[in-house]
Structure 1
Amino acid sequence: MLAVAPTASAAEIREVTGFGTNPGALRMFEYVPDGLPQGRPVVVAMHGCTQNAAGYGAGAGWVELAERSAFTLVLPQQESVNNISRCFNWFQPGDTTRGQGEAASIAQMVQRAIADTGADPSRVYVTGLSAGGAMTSVLLGAYPDMFAGGGVVAGLPLGCAASSLEAFTCMNPGKNLTPAQWGDKVRAAAGSHQGPWPTLSVWHGTADYTVAYANQRELVEQWTNVHGIPDTPSATDTIAGYPHAVYRDSTGRPLVETFSITGMGHGQPIDPGTADQQCGQAGAYQLDVNICAAWHLTQSWSLQPTAG
């Protein structure tokens, strides 16, 4: 008789339980490519309202990019018992303070992912759409020691709202504070942390009437102030036909960047296809605009394995 070795199961999104005390009562999903070596990065990707972890992970392109570029993907999921629309509670102080609520739950997910996969703790990144984008801002401020960079897609600055009523005003028309006022909100959230600070990439549609495009400018003011750099761009160009601006420090290091997706409404920019720069699957709030935000974030964060 011939012994037949079992076929290795292909990687898939799986739920991880028991990842910590989970004070925010979230669910943790994870995608780990088969044969992932130790020392690779971690990306946390958070869905928008009405979405779920698996749908966003696949739709935004993050699952295929995790496979292609060999990193661990953490997909937090909100539950309707916490928020009827399944939005992350980016406006509730009990969920946005370090060590508390949903922010602490997501930080525990990161710690679990690092422990499980032997990931590089200095290469952890966070991104999200809409409420997930706003929660990205929260995590960058509350846990700047944990995240090397963030990508806010159609999101809002940290500290814009402290109640559900105030959240709607922040979303549209937005809140206009000075750069120093915005920066102070990050410094207050970070406590004793003095730096270094995470880098930030901001993506927003110019025709977004759910979360006003003005929020992109407030995010730039917030994080250039935190980094101590001018809030005027060091360089501007176009990528895939869309305006792109970069804000650098005195050494030339890019610390903040923006992508303005002309004419796009509220959603995640994607570019379905199999070419190198393409990713994503079109659907609700996953908008085919011929540029995939997730792919460009992998470039900004240098997630690709080095040759050799």
Structure 2
Amino acid sequence: MKPNLSFLLAAIASLPMLAFSRVLERRYSSTLEPVPGFSPNPTNVPMYLYKPTSFKAGNPVILVVHYCGGSAQAMFGNLPDLPTLADERGILLIYPDSPHLEDHCWDVSSKETLTHDGGGDSTSLKNMVDYAQATYKASEELVYVMGISSGAMMTQVLSATYPNVFRAAAAYSGVPAGCFASPTGLVDAWNPDCAQGKIIKTAKEWGDIARAMYPQYSSRRPRMQLFHGTADDVLLYQDHLEAVKQWSDVLQVDLETPTSVRDNWPSQGLTTTEYGNELVRVVGNGIGHNFPANMTLTLDFFGIL
């Protein structure tokens, strides 16, 4: 068991129970279905798909990445607004399921996953998008990724390893891409220094780490939306500040000159700071690790509402 993992799992233990009550109140046009045997799948990540009856060829696709201790089914249930919006807008939703049985976290630590086409979890998840595009003719341009906790870490890893694939990303309570890197190359390794906000770097140092995951790439990068609570005691608030530095450098925005700062928006206790259309940070004053996910806000940021 990794350090602090039991605490992390306890922090999110209420989520699946909430999911069932919420799902019972909803009526969707389709159901979450497994996709058996998709390939290539180097780390054997199970794939699930929500394909609304309103989906048409060329429509957007969102990769939805769960938290430690979660699952594709739990993530589907815990974000009931997302399939509802998918029904309304004809959006294809992909839900991967972690192959790491001990903790059901994602590998955001190994060299393989932190490298473009390196053969780690990130490669398997990216290949799910390829499968959806080849099989269902989902858009090759309107591709998005979002995640919570470990899924938020993977969201930022995917944005660094496959910037050519994703148009925009939303990370709820995560850490910068590469922050969890294991010095010994272990897969799915817990990094207490990163979790506790002890890894401090300049914006350029963080940006270089992200760019090094796909050094041959020099084109457009995914726009980034970052959510974090100031009272997060699983992945400390300092991790958010480091992630903001990383993506400000990658996206070439000036943190000293935000285009908009709104207190108590979109709800009481939240502060939303925008840096043009490229980088948005939403900070929850006094909110812990379970930052309330706002699918309307995220899909609006993606530009598909």
Give TM-score scaled by structure 2 length: 0.83
Measured after TM superposition, the shift of residue 161 of structure 1 is: 2.4
Deviations 1:103-145 (A, max 9, x none): 1100110011112222111110001011110001110000000
Contact residue 29 and residue 87 of structure 2 kept, 8 A: no
Shift of 1:165: 6.2
Structure 2: unaligned runs, 5 residues or longer: 1-27, 183-187
Q: CA deviation at 1:70?
A: 1.7
Deviation at 1:88, TM superposition (A): 0.4
- Residue pair 2:284, 2:291 contacting (<8 A) in 1 also: no
1:186, distance to aligned residue in structure 2 (A): 1.2
User: Does the CA-based 8 Å contact 2:50-2:83 persist in structure 1?
Assistant: yes
2:84 is equivalent to residue 60 of structure 1 = no
Q: Deviations over 1:41-99 (max 9, x none)?
A: 110010000111111122123222222322000001003xx251100011122223221
Specify the alignment match of 1:237 in structure 2. Answer: 262
Bigger Rg, structure 1 or 2: 1
In 2, are the aligned partners of 1:22 and 1:101 still within 8 Å (CA)? no
Match of 2:287 in 1: 264
CA drift of 1:206 comes to 1.3
Cα distance between partner residues in 1 of 2:175 and 2:54: 37
- Do the aligned partners of 2:48 and 2:95 also contact (CA within 8 Å) in 1? yes
What are the equivalent positions in structure 2 for 1:1-308 lying under 5 Å apart?
10-61=29-80, 62-79=82-99, 82-99=100-117, 100-163=119-182, 167-232=191-256, 233-238=258-263, 239=265, 240-241=267-268, 242-248=270-276, 254-270=277-293, 292=294, 294-304=295-305
Q: In structure 2, the residue corresponding to 1:137 is in which secondary structure?
A: helix
Secondary structure at the aligned position of 2:212 is classed as helix
Identity between Structure 1 and Structure 2 (%): 27
Partner Cα separation in structure 1 for residue 85 and residue 292 of structure 2: 15
Structure 2 partner of 1:289: none
- C-alpha separation in 1, matches of 2:111 and 2:142: 27
Give the equivalent residue in structure 1 for 2:11. none
Contact in 1 for aligned 2:262/2:273 (Cα 8 Å): yes
Deviation, 1:10, is 4.4
Describe the shift of the 1:72–1:268 C-alpha distance in structure 2 as closer, same or farther (beyond 3 A). farther
**Alpha-carbon distance in 1 for matches of 2:205, 2:43:** 28
Give the conservation status (yes or no) of the 8 Å contact 1:60–1:268: no
TM score, norm. by length of structure 1? 0.83
- When the two chains are superposed, the root-mean-square deviation of aligned CA atoms in Å is 1.6
Letter of the structure 2 residue corresponding to residue 237 of structure 1: R
- Whichever residue aligns with residue 259 of structure 1, its letter is V
Q: One-letter code of the match for 1:211? A: L
Unpaired runs of 5+ residues, structure 1, are 1-8, 249-253, 271-291
